[in-house]
């Protein structure tokens, strides 16, 4: 199931009014998303409940019985302590036998919605790190939980959330629990929502660890080696041959080595232009190790008419990232079914197994435990290190932007509250997992609409323990991650990575010195790039190097529909944009010499949100 929308009526709203809203939701779901899914099914298990099932395959993810019970889920649900997956009927039996601890025996990427007729309760549960996105809102008359933010406009007048828009322009994604629409929030990690008699209660079923593990390095490594082997077998339970996104980095290698070790069939894919260094390196590596690699490239539809090819990603992805990024990711992964059995695997997010966002703070403290999370340092060099143009915006909006530092600082403070006595790395990882690394799960969620996409490094069976690993095993590209890959596939560990050509063989007294020299040289380059960004000097990201995007971005802007979206007189975003300054900026963009990747991406961010808001207005 790609997604499950739930609308539940409150007792005081008249039935005919609720039915009208259900009919409107049905019409808009078909109109806006009908071409994106194999089937869209509508169910009304009771007078006060309306469900939409957005189906991408034939898997059994909906259950109901004659007693008024029902359960629907999106994503993939595995057992946490067993090697098995669940369908809807099995999940209902599991819930019935253990309703109070139901969520804590599950693994995978999922959102589950169910109704317990005996308790007269509707329950919504998501996975422990919210890898599967849903949005929720409560109005005077209804509750809605939806995979698509757009459809919330049916029951609530859509208004731009200025703080969310500001985060998006700074980062290209939204760090907080906000969405692009005011009053609609994203489900937070490990959430349990319970609706009883028109009242909504929310709690968490999982708590972030506060201490490092007491296990030794050898014991910890053995635990992770077993866990990754189990993970490979777990993914293999449905018999589909997976397509592993393989790069020159450490994270995808961690996963691939587990499949190699367990002798489970797989194929791989790499994205980028023909001469991109990762494409060249991965193809050579695949040849040496005898596994097949599919080279995914941008097709003519994306190269020549990119807007028409990718604009639907804005609605599917709820404008959580710019169209040029979401569209490219979706375009790429739509090619996967031709190479595999509709199951893909990636290395999101390996940062919790190696140098995390805490790295600079430990380096500055000579790898001794810092006294606190230095939020000002983090905000300056990471969160807000790349400013965006603001002369086009109204004074009212600029007050939101001018408060950015305080807003991020509060986001950090709220996240690590109660963890002040924990090691700083745990505090940083908590904020990272809950807010900062959301960009990876946004991309995952979008692609899960069209293909089953797993991120084993985010499975609870692996990540829950990885979060307790001390810094001394994870810094300097991670002694323990090298140990995992070497323990599973010694030959693969010998291959160079894209970080200074460093391999993943465990280091000893003789190999540590050349390793450290390569590590610090490469690490200093990353820091130099951050300083350049702070000074306003354009620095190409790894993604920008993978393809020649300048001509593609120009083709985006040349599209007639995009030009209409940029017409000030018709813009919804004109509420926060000054007309004269906007027109001056648009004249600058008419000069091709003004075009850089960063400048074009900035304008396409605005196009993305304008298109989304226009669609919201259409159905409101």
**Given this model, what pLDDT does residue 535 score?**
67
Q: How confident is the model at residue 588 (pLDDT cuts 50, 70, 90)?
A: very high
Report the share of the chain in percent with pLDDT over 70: 96
pLDDT at residue 7 is higher than 90: yes
Give me the pLDDT at residue 542, please.
Answer: 62
Pairing of strands 70-79, 62-64: antiparallel
Helices 438-447 & 323-333 angle (0-180, nearest 10): 50
CATH fold of the domain at 3-204: 3.60.20
Q: Are 348 and 440 in contact (CB under 8 A)?
A: yes
pLDDT (tens digit per residue) in 296-312: 999 999 999 999 889 99
In sequence order, the 6+-apart residues with CB closer than 8 A to the CB of 214 are none
Q: Cα–Cα distance between 596 and 451 in angstroms, integer?
A: 33
| Structure confidence at residue 510 as a pLDDT band (50, 70, 90) | confident
Residue 40 has pLDDT above 90, yes or no: yes
Find the mean pLDDT for residues 196-206. 96
CA-CA-CA-CA dihedral for 440, 443, 446, 450, to nearest 10: -110
- How far apart CA 5 and CA 25 sit, in angstroms, is 10
pLDDT tens, position by position, 347-369: 999 999 999 999 888 888 887 89
**Would you say residue 289 has pLDDT above 80?**
yes
Q: Write down the pLDDT at residue 364.
A: 83
Cα gap 127→103, rounded to integer Å: 8
Q: State how beta strands 267-271 and 185-186 pair.
A: unpaired
Which residue has 């946004």 as its token pair?
442
Tell me, what's the pLDDT at 544?
65
- pLDDT at residue 294, rounded to an integer: 94
pTM for the structure as a whole = 0.95
Cα angle value 471/439/458 (rounded, 5°): 50
Residue 620 is classified by DSSP as -
| Pairing of β 3-9 and β 185-186 | unpaired
Q: Which of 159-173, 179-193, 324-338, 550-564 has the lowest mean pLDDT?
A: 324-338
Q: How far is CA 323 from CA 13, 148, 346, in A?
A: 38, 16, 21
Q: What are the CA-CA distances from residue 297 to residues 332, 338, 435 (Å)? A: 7, 13, 31
Question: What are the structure tokens assigned to 62, written together?
Answer: 């909906």
Convert the pLDDT of each residue in 400-428 to its tens digit.
999 999 999 999 999 999 999 999 999 99
The pLDDT, as a whole number, for residue 11 is 84
Tokens of 277: 């260094």
At residue 523, the pLDDT reads: 73
Q: Compute the residue count for the chain.
A: 620
Please report, for the chain, the start and end positions of each structural domain, with discontinuous segments joined by +: 3-204, 217-299+335-349+437-506, 368-436, 542-619
For 378-387, the pLDDT digits (tens) are 999 899 999 9
pLDDT recorded at residue 594: 97
The fourth-level CATH superfamily of domain 217-299+335-349+437-506 is HUPs (3.40.50.620)
Query: Which tokens hold the place of 235?
Result: 């993914």
The whole-angstrom separation of Cα 391 and Cα 354 is: 39
Q: What is the mean pLDDT of the chain?
A: 94
Which of 271, 597, 326 minimizes the C-alpha distance to 450? 326
Report the distance separating Cα 571 and Cα 613, nearest Å. 9
What is the pLDDT confidence band of residue 66, given thresholds at 50, 70 and 90? very high
User: What tens digit of pLDDT does each residue of 520-549 get?
Assistant: 777 776 666 666 666 666 666 666 667 789
Exposed, middle or buried, 321 (CB in 10 Å: 0-12/13-18/19+)?
buried
Measured distance between the N- and C-terminal CA atoms of the chain, rounded to whole angstroms: 26
């Amino acid at each position: 199931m790609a997604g499950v929308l739930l609308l539940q009526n409150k007792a005081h709203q008249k039935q005919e009014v609720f039915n009208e809203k259900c009919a409107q939701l049905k019409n808009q779901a078909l109109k806006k998303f009908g071409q994106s899914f194999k089937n869209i099914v509508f169910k009304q298990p009771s007078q006060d409940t309306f469900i939409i099932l957005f189906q991408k395959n034939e898997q059994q993810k909906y259950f109901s019985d004659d007693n008024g019970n029902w359960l629907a889920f999106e994503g993939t649900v595995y057992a946490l302590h067993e090697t098995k997956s669940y369908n809807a009927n099995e999940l209902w039996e599991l819930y019935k036998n253990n309703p109070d601890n139901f969520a804590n025996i599950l693994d995978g990427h999922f959102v589950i919605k169910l109704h317990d007729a005996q308790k007269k309760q509707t329950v919504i549960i998501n996975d422990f790190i919210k890898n599967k996105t849903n949005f929720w809102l409560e109005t005077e008359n209804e509750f809605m939980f939806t995979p698509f933010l757009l459809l919330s406009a049916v029951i609530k007048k859509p208004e731009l959330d200025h703080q969310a828009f500001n985060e998006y322009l700074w980062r290209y994604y939204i760090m907080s629990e906000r969405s692009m629409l005011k009053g609609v929030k994203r489900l937070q990690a490990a959430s349990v929502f319970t609706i009883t008699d028109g009242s909504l209660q929310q709690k968490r079923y999982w708590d972030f660890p506060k201490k490092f593990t007491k296990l030794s390095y050898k014991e910890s490594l053995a635990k992770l080696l077993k866990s990754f082997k189990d993970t490979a077998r777990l993914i293999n339970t449905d018999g589909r041959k997976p397509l592993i996104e393989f790069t020159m980095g450490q994270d995808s290698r961690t996963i691939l080595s587990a499949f190699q070790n367990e002798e489970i069939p797989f194929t791989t894919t790499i994205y980028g232009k023909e001469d991109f260094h990762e494409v060249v390196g991965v193809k050579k590596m695949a040849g040496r190790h005898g596994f097949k690699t599919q080279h995914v490239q941008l097709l003519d539809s994306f190269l020549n008419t990119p807007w028409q090819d990718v604009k639907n990603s804005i609605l599917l992805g709820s404008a959580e990232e710019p169209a040029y990024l979401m569209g490219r990711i979706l375009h790429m992964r739509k090619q996967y079914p031709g190479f595999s059995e509709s199951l893909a695997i990636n290395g999101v997010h390996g940062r919790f197994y190696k140098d995390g966002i805490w790295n600079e703070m430990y380096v500055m403290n000579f790898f001794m435990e810092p006294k606190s999370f230095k939020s000002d340092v983090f905000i300056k060099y990471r969160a807000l290190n790349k400013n965006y143009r603001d002369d086009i915006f109204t004074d009212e909006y600029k007050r939101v932007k001018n408060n950015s530092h305080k807003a991020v600082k509060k986001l950090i403070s709220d996240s690590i509250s109660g963890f002040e006595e924990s090691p700083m790395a745990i505090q940083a990882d908590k904020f990272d997992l809950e807010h900062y690394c959301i960009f990876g799960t946004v991309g995952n969620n979008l692609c899960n609409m069209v293909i089953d996409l797993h991120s084993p490094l985010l499975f609870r069976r692996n990540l829950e323990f990885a979060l307790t690993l001390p810094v001394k095993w994870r810094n300097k590209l991670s002694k323990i991650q090298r140990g995992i890959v070497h323990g599973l596939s010694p030959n693969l560990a010998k291959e160079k990575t894209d970080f200074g050509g460093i391999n993943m063989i465990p280091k000893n007294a003789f190999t540590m010195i050349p390793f450290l020299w390569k590590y610090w040289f490469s690490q200093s380059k990353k820091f130099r790039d951050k300083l350049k960004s702070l000074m306003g000097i354009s620095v190409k990201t790894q993604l920008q190097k993978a393809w020649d995007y300048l001509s593609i971005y120009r083709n985006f802007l040349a599209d007639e529909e995009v030009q209409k979206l940029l017409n000030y007189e018709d813009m919804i975003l004109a509420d926060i944009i000054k007309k004269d300054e906007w027109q001056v900026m648009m004249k600058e963009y008419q000069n091709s010499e003004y075009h850089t990747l960063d400048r074009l991406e900035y304008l396409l961010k605005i196009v993305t949100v304008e298109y989304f808001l226009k669609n919201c207005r259409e159905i409101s």
